[in-house]
Structure 1
Amino acid sequence: MSEDIDSKKETERPIPSEGIRRFSERLEILVQEHGSVRSYASSASLSEGVVRKYLKGDTYPTLDRVDMLAAAGNVNAAWLVTGEGSKHPGEENQEGLEEFALIPGYNIEVAAGIGSFPDGEESTRKLAFRHKWLRFRGLKPESLVLVFAKGDSMEPTINDNNTLMIDTSNRELNDGHIYVIRTDGHLIVKRIQKLWNKGILLLSDNKEYREQQIEPNEADDLEVIGKVVWIGKDV
Structure 2
Amino acid sequence: MSDDQARLLRERGERLRHAAQSIGITHAAKAAGVPYTTLRDYMNGSEMKLSAVASLARACGVSLDWLAFGVGAGLDADGESSAPVRGGHQVVIPWLSPQPDEGLRVGKSWLEAALPRDPATLRLINVSGDAMAPTLREGDLVIVDTDARAVQGGAIFALRVEGDILLRRLERRLGGGIRALADNDRYPPQELQTAEAAGLDVVGEVVWSGGLPRG
Unaligned runs of 5+ in 1: 1-84, 107-117
Question: Bigger relative contact order, structure 1 or 2, given CA contacts below 8 A and separation 6+?
Answer: 2
C-alpha distance 196-123 of structure 1, shift in aligned 2 (>3 A): farther
C-alpha distance 212-177 of structure 1, shift in aligned 2 (>3 A): same
| d(CA) in 2 for partners of 1:94, 1:130 | 10
CA shift for structure 1 position 122: 7.0
| d(CA) in 2 for partners of 1:122, 1:204 | 26
What secondary structure sits across from 2:154 in the alignment?
Answer: coil
Tell me which residue corresponds to 2:107.
130
CA shift for structure 1 position 232: 1.7
Q: TM-score normalised to the size of structure 1? A: 0.51
Q: 2:95 matched to 1:105?
A: yes
Equivalent runs, 1:1-235 vs 2, <5 Å: 92-95=78-81, 98-105=88-95, 118=97, 124-136=101-113, 137-235=115-213
When the two chains are superposed, the root-mean-square deviation of aligned CA atoms in Å is 2.3
| d(CA) in 2 for partners of 1:123, 1:230 | 22
| d(CA) in 1 for partners of 2:122, 2:183 | 24
Unaligned runs of 5+ in 2: 1-74
Matched letter for residue 79 of structure 2: N
| d(CA) in 1 for partners of 2:89, 2:153 | 34
| d(CA) in 1 for partners of 2:203, 2:172 | 17
Q: Is the 8 A contact 1:183 1:221 kept in 2?
A: no
Matched letter for residue 158 of structure 2: V
Matched letter for residue 208 of structure 1: R
Q: Is the 8 A contact 2:92 2:102 kept in 1?
A: no
Matched letter for residue 143 of structure 2: M
| d(CA) in 2 for partners of 1:124, 1:102 | 11
What secondary structure sits across from 2:78 in the alignment?
Answer: helix
Higher Cα Rg, which structure: 1
C-alpha distance 144-211 of structure 1, shift in aligned 2 (>3 A): same
What secondary structure sits across from 2:79 in the alignment?
Answer: helix
CA shift for structure 1 position 131: 2.1
Q: TM-score normalised to the size of structure 2? A: 0.56
What secondary structure sits across from 1:198 in the alignment?
Answer: coil
CA shift for structure 1 position 221: 0.9
Residues paired across the two proteins, number: 134
C-alpha distance 172-205 of structure 1, shift in aligned 2 (>3 A): same
Report sequence identity in percent: 28
